[in-house]
């Protein structure tokens, strides 16, 4: 067990151990050549072996920040629903502590994520006394939070165990490394999700082949014409062609940028490396959403789910903020009273809003606004998303919520396989709500969905 430094006693608030302000006084610059070579090397690891990237990030941070220990903490959820941090990778003097945990709501990483900013701590064990169990004292801890797909995912941190102190240069470099962390763990999660999705789809395809053989036999016995069989086969071929096209586009972008980083990384500027990484992250997110929607449609409809108390206005604000980062040229207005509560699933509402706002983005001019409003109507929470596109014909108002339907009027204007609205309908109805589309008074479309409302007590 580490001994606390002489005259260092326990404290009761985090403000008593935070010294972030001194970074502006501690001038320091990390050698640009060394940092540049390190980031190019990290880009190569990301392209060729992303599962090794977390440890590589720790090794680089340990060297560039001249630290005694560096590590990466990732937010996990326990069996009882509580969140905690898992030390996924560590380098330096405390490397044998990899796999350890700290509380989500009482830790340096948790405080840094809550404040959404880099934080510097002095003798953090004065407040977080469980750190006294470390074999060496922690004199300073510099902690940088990072995001993945717009959400807090974890933090990267460096520790000093002696007289060495962190400066503004160390903080800057650690923040750049933190940006790599978000992309790294997102790619690792996407790989795992892709493997699981492939296995699920292979199982589904096996069942579909059996069902197809039975269908062919039933149709033959029913005496249907070859023309009907040919039409059914054409629908199947068209669907497979659409799915293949939609999956090929993001995969090509990811592969192309990874190839450039691996083969030309040393000759690229930091801005060019950043642009390639942003393209990989954007297309990875798009690929993940396509897979998620296909898996939702593949699941049987079970008729509902347990309801929880959710803040609809807060969920919409989160979705709109994330959309704004991806499409900064689009203005989205939100008209909602704070604390509008409903009974439902936070995840289902978020994905429904994301699909509907994404549709408005694709099918309306970028110079026009998207308007989102929330209101209470007859004991229900009603969410309305209005765009200024070409609108939906009354004859298509029901068809567009069917899987794989795409309007002949707009199909050529944006890519897609026609599953987003079908998935949204599945989500809304599972929560006991309704979803529909209507013409907007000043042109365009209004997509609406309702949820059972809750009154805040």
| Residue 96 predicted with pLDDT over 90 | yes
pLDDT of residue 326: 77
| Residue 452 predicted with pLDDT over 80 | yes
Q: Which of 139-148, 234-243, 244-253, 284-293 is predicted least confidently?
A: 234-243
Confidence of residue 32 (pLDDT cuts 50, 70, 90): very low
Q: What is the 3-state secondary structure (H, E, C) of the chain?
A: CCCCCCCCCCCCCHHHCECHHHHHCCCCCCCHHHHHHHHHHHHHHHHHCHHHHHHHHHHHHHHHCCCCEEEEEEEEECCCCCEEEEEEEEEECCHHHCCCEEECCCCHHHHHHHHCCCEEEECHHHCCHHHHHCCCCCCEEEEEEEEECCEEEEEEEEEECCCCCCCHHHHHHHHHHHHHHHHHHHHHHHHHHHHHHHHHHHHHHHHHHHHHHHHHHHHHHCCCCHHHHHHHHHHHHHHHHHHHHHHHHHHHHHHHHHHHHHHHHHHCCHHHHHHHHHHHHHHHHHHHHHHHHHHHHHCCCCCCCCCEEEEHHHHHHHHHHHHHHHCCCCCEEEECCCCCEEEECHHHHHHHHHHHHHHHHHHCCCCCCEEEEEEEECCEEEEEEECCCCCCCHHHCCHHHCCCCCCCCCHHHCCCCCCHHHHHHHHHHHCCCCEEEEECCCCCEEEEEEEEEECCC
Confidence of residue 195 (pLDDT cuts 50, 70, 90): confident
| Average pLDDT for 90-119 | 94
Distance CA 105, CA 99 (A): 18
- For the question of whether the overall pTM of this predicted structure is more than 0.75, the answer is no
Q: Which of 243-247, 274-278, 415-419 is predicted least confidently?
A: 243-247
Confidence of residue 136 (pLDDT cuts 50, 70, 90): very high
| Residue 314 predicted with pLDDT over 80 | yes
Of 309 and 230, the one with more pLDDT: 309
pLDDT of residue 275: 79
- Best-predicted range by mean pLDDT (329-333, 344-348, 400-404): 329-333
| Mean pLDDT estimate for the chain | 81
| Residue 350 predicted with pLDDT over 80 | yes
| Average pLDDT for 82-102 | 94
| Residue 191 predicted with pLDDT over 60 | yes
Confidence of residue 213 (pLDDT cuts 50, 70, 90): confident
Q: Which of 49-58, 344-353, 399-408 is predicted least confidently?
A: 399-408
| Residue 457 predicted with pLDDT over 70 | no
| Residue 405 predicted with pLDDT over 80 | no
Q: Which of 116-125, 157-166, 291-300 is predicted least confidently?
A: 291-300
| Residue 291 predicted with pLDDT over 80 | no
| Residue 384 predicted with pLDDT over 90 | yes
């Amino acid at each position: 067990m580490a001994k606390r430094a002489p005259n260092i006693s326990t404290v009761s608030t985090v403000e008593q151990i935070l010294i972030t302000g001194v970074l502006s006084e501690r001038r320091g610059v990390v050698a640009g050549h060394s940092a540049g070579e390190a980031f190019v090397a990290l880009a190569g690891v990301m392209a060729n072996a992303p599962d090794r990237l977390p440890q590589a990030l720790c090794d680089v941070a340990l060297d560039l920040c001249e630290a005694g220990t560096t590590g990466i903490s990732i937010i996990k959820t326990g069996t009882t629903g509580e969140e905690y941090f898992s030390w996924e990778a560590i380098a330096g003097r405390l490397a044998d502590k990899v796999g350890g945990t700290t509380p989500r709501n009482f830790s340096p990483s948790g405080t840094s994520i809550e404040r959404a900013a880099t934080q510097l701590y002095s003798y953090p064990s004065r407040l977080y006394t469980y750190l006294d169990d470390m074999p060496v004292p922690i004199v300073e801890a510099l902690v940088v939070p990072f995001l993945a797909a717009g959400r807090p995912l974890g933090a990267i941190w460096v520790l000093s165990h002696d007289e060495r102190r962190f400066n503004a240069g160390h903080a800057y470099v650690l923040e750049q490394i933190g940006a790599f962390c978000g992309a790294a763990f997102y790619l690792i999660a996407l790989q795992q999700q892709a493997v699981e999705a492939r296995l699920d789809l292979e199982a589904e395809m096996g069942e579909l082949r059996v069902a197809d053989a039975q269908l062919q036999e039933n149709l033959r016995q029913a005496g249907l014409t070859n023309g009907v069989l040919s039409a059914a086969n054409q629908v199947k071929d068209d669907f497979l062609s659409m799915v293949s096209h939609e999956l090929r586009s993001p995969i090509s972008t990811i592969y192309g940028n990874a190839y450039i980083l691996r083969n030309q990384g040393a000759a690229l500027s930091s801005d060019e490396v950043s642009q390639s990484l942003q393209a990989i992250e954007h297309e990875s997110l798009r690929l993940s959403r396509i897979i998620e929607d296909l898996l939702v449609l593949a699941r049987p409809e079970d008729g509902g789910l347990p309801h929880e108390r959710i803040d609809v206005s807060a969920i919409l604000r989160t979705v709109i903020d994330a959309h704004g980062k991806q499409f900064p040229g689009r203005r989205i207005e939100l008209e909602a009273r704070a604390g509008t509560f409903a009974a439902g699933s936070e995840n289902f509402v978020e994905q429904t809003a994301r699909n509907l706002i994404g549709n408005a983005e694709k099918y309306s001019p970028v110079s026009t606004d998207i308007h989102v409003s929330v209101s209470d109507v007859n004991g229900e929470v009603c969410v309305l998303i209005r765009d200024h596109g070409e609108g939906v014909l009354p004859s298509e108002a029901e068809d567009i919520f069917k899987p794989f339907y795409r309007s002949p009027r707009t199909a050529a204007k944006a890519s897609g396989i026609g599953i987003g609205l079908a998935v949204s309908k599945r989500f809304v109805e599972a929560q006991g709500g309704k979803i529909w589309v209507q013409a907007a008074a000043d042109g365009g479309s209004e997509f609406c969905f309702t949820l059972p409302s809750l009154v805040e007590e």
